[in-house]
Amino acid sequence: MMGFESGSPLSDQEPRLTSLAHGGGCGCKIAPAVLSEMLAKVPPARPFVDLLVGNESSDDAAVWRLNDTQALVATTDFFMPVVDDPFDFGRIAATNALSDVYAMGARPILALALVGMPINVLSPETIGRILKGGANVCADADIPIAGGHSIDSVEPIYGLVALGLVDPNKLMTNRGAQAGDVLVLTKPLGVGVLSAALKQGRLDAAGYATLIASTTQLNVVGPSAADIEGVHAMTDVTGFGLAGHALEMARGSGVQIELFDQPPMLEGVKALLDQGVRTGASGRNWDSYGSLVEGLGAGTLRDLLTDPQTSGGLLIAVAEDRLPTLNFTLGGFGLKAAAVVGRVRAGAPGVSVGPA
């Protein structure tokens, strides 16, 4: 497969963005098992009556009740370049950061930029293109970037602090899935595979277009999905892969989740998997939680279900009789590739994989 240059530095003397980072996108996330070990050493905070969601359930954002009809949703997300084009990098990072707000059923109200750049390596023009990409996404979401913070760092880092508002009665978490629900994923899988192929010079122009289209599609459907009676839980699928985020939902909800063995894939991903393209994060993910996933042996399916999804889709648990209403809503937002990827059963928290 011919390699594809995903945009070039603005100066001939500048290196490719991805060459400056040891990892990229949500593949940079600390492995789940290591993260759990680190957090276990943090003393628990004293209880706050208005803290509706903290870090006790691995949810997407913190939520603080302001009054009976409003709660503040607060989150942050940042990472190193997953592509070389600075404008696209900014767009992807901003889209990914806002996703956590949408996953709580909230609407974003403003963002703050988090910027770490090797200022002696990258030109102000290149860094400015990264910031412009993020600002364009925030404009699409109809919110301002109202400030931020920047540092001189060895590797390029960009992301956002994102704030949103939600009615506490319509708040979505990963803790509400119920036995009998079906699981819907709003975007196909394979972003990590495509980004790995890009870094290896094995991604063609069509593959790059697929990568950008998926990672820059805002999960703006979140609040509308939360309005549907029978939608019980929601999270976004990012660095831990579909299996990892399904496991978080299973644990948070106290249920057994069965994932189907034919999940939707982005165009071109299967061919790359067949050629042996993988991310290092996929293996780290499996090492962290594989013992809690039944029915998933080594092979392409495991690599896909553990593939880190930068700016991935929403995973929604919905009562089966409300699935047509949810599908109608998703279609109205252009999410034609949304698919049922599993079901929720009563049982000890965990994940299994089997046929639909």
Using the structure block, give the residue that is written with the tokens 């903290």: 54
DSSP 274: H
Average of per-residue pLDDT across 257-262: 97
- Is the CB of residue 93 less than 8 Å from the CB of residue 48? no
Beta-carbon contacts of 112 under 8 Å, excluding residues fewer than 6 positions away, are 145, 146, 147, 148, 149, 160, 161
Any idea how long the chain is?
A: 356
Lowest mean pLDDT among 9-13, 66-70, 177-181, 266-270: 9-13
What's the total number of domains in the chain? 2
**Cβ-Cβ contacts under 8 Å for 14 (sequence gap 6 or more):** 121, 122, 123, 126
pLDDT above 50 for 1: no
331 and 186 in a common domain: yes
Whether 226 and 320 map to the same domain: the answer is yes
Q: Which domain holds residue 340?
A: 173-354
Same domain, 77 and 156: yes
pLDDT at position 36 over 80: no
Q: Would residue 27 count as lying in a domain?
A: yes
Q: Is residue 3 part of a domain?
A: no
- Both 192 and 316 in one domain: the answer is yes
Q: Give yes or no: residues 81 and 213 share one domain.
A: no
User: Average of pLDDT values for 280-293?
Assistant: 93
| 10 located within any domain | no
The CA dihedral of 268, 216, 170, 350, to the nearest 10 degrees, is: 40
Contact indicator for 215, 311 with CB cutoff of 8 Å: yes
Of 169, 197, 227, the last residue of a domain is 169
Domain boundary among 130, 150, 169: 169
Quote the CA–CA distance of 259 and 341 in Å, as a whole number: 6
Q: Which two tokens stand for residue 239?
A: 């660095």
Domain presence at residue 5: no
Cβ-in-10-Å burial (0-12, 13-18, 19+) of 148 comes to middle
Confidence (pTM): 0.92
> What's the whole-number average pLDDT of the chain?
92
One domain, residues 163 and 51: yes
Give residue-wise pLDDT tens across range 192-205: 999 999 999 999 99
Give the CATH number for residue 82.
Answer: 3.30.1330.10
**Catalytic site positions:** 26
In a domain, 8, yes or no: no
- The span from the CA of 341 to the CA of 242, in Å, is 10
Q: Tell me whether residue 336 is in a domain.
A: yes
* Nearest to 248, CA basis, from 106, 230, 77, 239: 239
Q: How many helices (H) and strands (E) does the chain have?
A: 11, 13
Q: What is d(CA 341, CA 184) in angstroms, rounded to the nearest whole number? A: 6
* Residues 126 and 205 both lie in one domain: no
Can you tell me the mean pLDDT for 90-103? Answer: 97
Please give the average per-residue pLDDT across 241-263, as a whole number.
97
Are 133 and 200 in the same domain?
Answer: no
Q: Are 241 and 346 found together in one domain?
A: yes
Point out the domain boundary residue: 102, 134, 169. 169
247's tokens: 């496991």
Q: Contact, 133 vs 169, CB < 8 A?
A: no
Read off the pLDDT band of 2 (50, 70, 90).
very low
pLDDT in tens, 67-90: 999 999 999 999 999 999 999 999
DSSP string, 289-313: HGGGEES--SSHHHHHHT---TT--
The whole-angstrom separation of Cα 315 and Cα 88 is 24
In a domain, 7, yes or no: no
In a domain, residue 129? The reply is yes
Q: How far apart are CA 60 and CA 62, in angstroms?
A: 7
The pLDDT tens digits for 123-148 are: 999 999 999 999 999 999 999 999 99
CATH of the domain at 230: 3.90.650.10
Say whether both 344 and 228 belong to one domain.
yes
Q: Is the domain of 144 the same as that of 277?
A: no
* Of 57-66, 248-257, 317-326, 334-343, minimum mean pLDDT range: 57-66
Decide if 48 contacts 89 (C-beta within 8 A): no
What is the pLDDT at residue 14?
Answer: 87
183 and 246 Cβ atoms separated by less than 8 Å? yes
Q: Tell me, yes or no, whether 136 and 164 share the same domain.
A: yes
